[in-house]
Amino acid sequence: MTISKKCILLDLRTIQKFDRSGMYKIYDRWPQIARESYESEQELAEFGEINHIVFSGMGGSGAIGDVFSSILSKTKIHVCVVKGYVLPGTIDSNTLVVTTSVSGNTTETLSVLDTASKLGCKVIAFSSGGKMERFCVKNKVEYRKIPMVLSPRASFPAFLYSMLKILSHVIPVKNDEVTESISKLERLQKSIWSSNLTINNPSLALAEWINGIPMIYYPHGLEAVAIRFKNSLQENAKSHAMAEDVIEASHNGIVSWERNKFRVQPILIEGADDYIKTKERWNILKEYFKKNKIDYKEIHSIKGGILSKSLTLMYLLDYCTLYLAALSKLDPSPVRSIDYLKNKLG
């Protein structure tokens, strides 16, 4: 992306003033958390023949399912991601249902876990404890406990890389691909963390540019990245955000720019090896924006496997949302609206 020379630079004292829980400290350590989680002693899961996997989770836990869906998209394993209460009707004895709730108390995921445990399929649950742990112990459901790091969304690398290790006999991802992704995160870390609050920090530069409602465009293979970015903008920066597949948007969403008066800002997440027709679509879209004097930003993935591309983009964009929160004089940690809804649900 092109970095504006007008970038407003934060200082660490300002970040600390608003980020009262020190979430930025966790993000500074994401690569180390990823490596420690993947290299930690874990009991690997064994399930035999699997041809269908359902990942169930909400919010930050749901983002983990999105990443696994991307990883498995070119395999013969059928994948579903459930963000709600109801399992698909295609479940059979060769289905593995993976339920993830960092807190262990997510109502929707607990409902899926309860249903799955009665269907005769294979089940494994991941949480930091809570009701999910108690349910699994009581009902003898396979379970792995992973410590939460500050909050569910900040715990993303700890859970993802622990699950990559635990499910390594199920998920066809080579060890080299996982270690490559961690090395790429470590390389990116030096340019986006809080020790580099300069004009050369791409996460900070993007945060400074955002002053409206981000409209995130993405290719199908990077859907997990776009959804995670949208969710983190909403939770960390308390900002409205939207996300659309660039191909689908070409058939409907692009028309909205004919009436662009709502301070919507396009952000284009482009893959290094996007399909040739997708690249053609990106070029036309950028030409359209330029012709209509619509300012936009491009975010390009690195070259490498889908895990490396996805995780480095997620790291860069997640950190952007923390900087945007500080620039907006907001604490990224509290989610009062979610607490309100949970209290109403009981």
Under 8 Å CB-to-CB from 28, ≥6 apart: which residues?
189, 193, 194, 195
At residue 346, the pLDDT reads 67
CA 176 to chain centre: 22
> What pLDDT, on a 0 to 100 scale, did the predictor assign at position 338?
84
Report pLDDT for 5. 46
Q: What is the predicted pLDDT for the residue at 151? A: 85
Q: Could you report the average pLDDT of every consecutive run of 10 residues in the chain (346 residues)? A: 54 95 96 96 90 94 94 89 94 95 95 94 96 97 94 92 95 93 97 94 96 96 96 96 96 89 92 95 96 96 94 98 96 88 80
Q: What is the rounded CA–CA span in Å between residue 26 and residue 223?
A: 24
User: Residue 34: CB partners within 8 Å, gap ≥ 6?
Assistant: 157, 158, 160, 161, 181, 182, 185, 311
∠ CA(189), CA(193), CA(199), 5° rounding? 110
Instruction: Compute, in degrees rounded to 10, the torsion defined by CA atoms 132, 136, 137, 142.
Output: -130
The pLDDT, as a whole number, for residue 197 is 94
Question: pTM score, two decimals?
Answer: 0.93
Res 1: pLDDT: 42
User: What is the pLDDT at residue 101?
Assistant: 96
Fold of 12-21+188-327: Rossmann fold (3.40.50)
CB 310 within 8 A of CB 188: no
HSE-up of residue 125 (Cα within 13 Å, Cβ side): 31
Q: Do domains 12-21+188-327 and 28-173 have the same CATH topology?
A: yes
Per-residue pLDDT at 297 = 97
What are the tokens at 52? Answer: 């269908």
Where in the chain are the domains? 12-21+188-327, 28-173
CATH architecture assigned to 28-173:
3-Layer(aba) Sandwich (3.40)
Identify the H or E element spanning 244.
strand 242-245
